[in-house]
Structure 1
Amino acid sequence: MRPGDPSLAPDALAAEEKARVSERVQGIIDDRRARDRVDTGRIHPYFSKLRAKLERQMHAAPLFDMPSLPKQLLHSWADKAHRFGASGSPGAGPPTRAPPKPGELLAQRARNNPEFDRLRGQSQAGEELQSFANGVSSLKLVVTLELIQGPDGTLREVKLVSRSGNRAYDDYVLQSVPSALAKTPPPPPDALGVNADGIRTLWAVEGRVVYVRKASEMKGSDSAYLAAAAAVGLLAGGFEETTGEVYVIDVRNPHFECRSRLLRVY
Structure 2
Amino acid sequence: MSSPSFRMSARRLATVASATALAAGPVALTGVSPAHATGDHGRASAVVLRTGLDVSLLNKSVNVPLAVSLNDVRAPRSAEKTTLTATLDAVDGGRPFSVLRAEVAEARATATATKAEGATTLVKARLHVPGLPLLSLIEVEQVTARATCEVGQKPFATTGMPGSVTVLGKRVALSAGGPTDVKVPGVGEVRLDLSSTRTTARTAAATALELTVSVNPAKLNVAEVDGTVTLAEATCKTPRPEVAAHPPAEPSAPPADVRPQGAAAESGLAETGGSSTTPYVVGAAVVLLAAGGGAVALARRRG
TM-score range, shorter chain: under 0.3
Name the structure with the higher strand share.
2
Name the structure with the higher helix share.
1
Structure 1 or 2, whichever has the larger Rg, is 2
